[in-house]
Amino acid sequence: MGNYLRSLRHRRRKRLATQYARTTAGDQRVAVIGLGRFGSSLAGELMRRGWDVLGIDTDPGLVQRYSDSLTHAVVADSTDPEALRQLGVGEFPSAVVAIGSHIEASILVTSNLLEAGVPNIWAKAISRQHGTILERLGAHHVVLPEHEMGERVAHLVTGRMLDFIEFDDDYALVKTVAPAIATGMPLGESQVRSKYGVTIVGIKRPGQGFTYATAETVIETGDVIVVTGKTYDVEAFSELS
């Protein structure tokens, strides 16, 4: 289970890096403040995607550890606006505040970045209250990795789902073992969409890769499918026998 959770966390960070990359097309510089587990994973993923990453931390040991793998790694206290100014962080198109348990520092750093005019600030929160404060402060994107991962794992633990991703507006994408009601006839005839409000978009036969589902696709017992729809509907559908 440990490895499984680690892989889920890894994918979550990858997804955040992808979301982040999409919102800043063009100038590929980013300052990552805080090189703890979250910040260092995010920074590493951005580097792998060819981004220029300035990593900042107050801990010289962490900065030393990541000095070879990031474009720049600097020891600085980012609660000090002057330190950020000297590093030119205000000129960056985006910055990530990857400080969690030091809540006061997280708030001060976010405030400094806003003051410096960084147009795209991502901030990590460790609780809903922390997230609310960061949003009210003006952070452009607030993420709650622990909460979001907890909700995601709860879905996996309690159901037959093999993977679960929830988007905004109560919409989800789920990988699950096909329920019997969807098997044995072409999808076009199964009325899955009209009866259950979900769309089957992909299918994987044992021993084969995923392929698109079409109206002619006949799902067989043991197939794994990818289903989209309202969160409640995909949850209910994946629980059908």
Least Å distance between CB 41 and ligand ATP?
Answer: 8
Of 198, 192, 194, the C-alpha closest to 217 is 192
Interface region with ligand ATP, contact rule CB under 6 A, candidates 54-62, 113-121, 180-188, 222-230: 54-62
* DSSP label at residue 118: -
Site for ligand ATP contains 112 (CB under 6 A): no
Least Å distance between CB 27 and ligand ATP?
Answer: 23
Q: Where are the alpha helices (DSSP H) in 34-172?
A: 37-48, 60-66, 81-86, 103-116, 128-137, 145-158
How many angstroms separate the CA atoms of 144 and 10, rounded?
Answer: 15
Quote the tokens at residue 22: 């999409």
- Which of 6, 10, 15, 37 binds ligand ATP (CB under 6 A)? It is 37
Nearer to ligand ATP, 98 or 225 (CB): 98
Characterise 226 by phi-psi region: left (phi > 0), alpha (psi -120 to 50), beta (else): beta
How many angstroms separate the CA atoms of 139 and 121, rounded?
Answer: 6
- Which of 3, 101, 194, 241 binds ligand ATP (CB under 6 A)? It is 101
Count CB atoms within 10 A of the CB of residue 177: 13
Site for ligand ATP contains 176 (CB under 6 A): no
How many angstroms separate the CA atoms of 120 and 132, rounded?
Answer: 17
- Which of 29, 34, 92, 113 binds ligand ATP (CB under 6 A)? It is 34
Site for ligand ATP contains 59 (CB under 6 A): yes
Nearer to ligand ATP, 79 or 217 (CB): 79
Q: How many residues at the interface with ligand ATP, by CB under 6 A? A: 23
Residues 70-99 that bind ligand ATP (CB under 6 A): 77-79, 98-99
Interface region with ligand ATP, contact rule CB under 6 A, candidates 21-29, 31-39, 168-176, 190-198: 31-39
Q: Starting from the edge strand earliest in sequence, which strands make up the sheet with 171-177, in order?
A: 161-167, 171-177, 224-230, 198-204, 210-212
How many angstroms separate the CA atoms of 155 and 173, rounded?
Answer: 12
Nearer to ligand ATP, 55 or 229 (CB): 55
Neighbouring-strand partners of residue 48: none
Of 172, 162, 234, the C-alpha closest to 198 is 234
Least Å distance between CB 174 and ligand ATP?
Answer: 28
- Which of 36, 81, 90, 202 binds ligand ATP (CB under 6 A)? It is 36
Least Å distance between CB 40 and ligand ATP?
Answer: 8
Quote the tokens at residue 223: 């197939």
Quote the tokens at residue 209: 């890769």
Least Å distance between CB 44 and ligand ATP?
Answer: 13
Please report, as ranges, the residues that interact with ligand ATP according to CB under 6 A: 33-39, 56-59, 62, 77-79, 98-102, 105, 109, 126
